[in-house]
A = this chain, B = another copy of it.
Amino acid sequence: MARHLQPVEALSALAHDTRLQVFQLLVQAGTEGMTAGAIATAVDVPASTMSHHIATLERAGLAQSERESRMIHYRADYDGMRRLLSFLMEDCCQGRPEMCADLVSAMACRP
């Protein structure tokens, strides 16, 4: 049992409205990141509750933290997200090219 530990943890972390919002915010914030307080304010959730959620994202490999004087800056962990997406795509595509065809065009990042 427990075959998909990491992917399940990452999926689980994103499977929550508040945490998904937070992850989006962090992606938007880019390398700058956001302080815990700014995140809590933006999403309008008490600091302690938010702290739990952020910790969950961090454990799941989807966010990273760095203390900067009194504040702690959080940023999205792109590598973790990439790992999750790769897993899902290899998982869902295995042997079925027709599946991912549209996905490529859905990617807003091509030149």
Chain A residues at the B interface, C-beta cutoff of 8 Å? 1-5, 7-8, 11-12, 14-17, 20-21, 23-24, 27-28, 30, 76, 78, 81-82, 84-86, 88-104, 106-111
Contacts and interface: CB of A to CB of B under 8 A. Distances in A.
Contacts of A92: 27, 76, 78, 81, 85
Contact of A109 (B5, B11, B23, B96): B96
A91 to B, nearest CB: 6
19 contacts: A4-B20, A4-B21, A5-B17, A8-B15, A11-B11, A11-B20, A23-B91, A24-B91, A30-B96, A81-B92, A82-B99, A82-B102, A88-B88, A89-B103, A89-B106, A94-B108, A96-B109, A99-B109, A104-B104
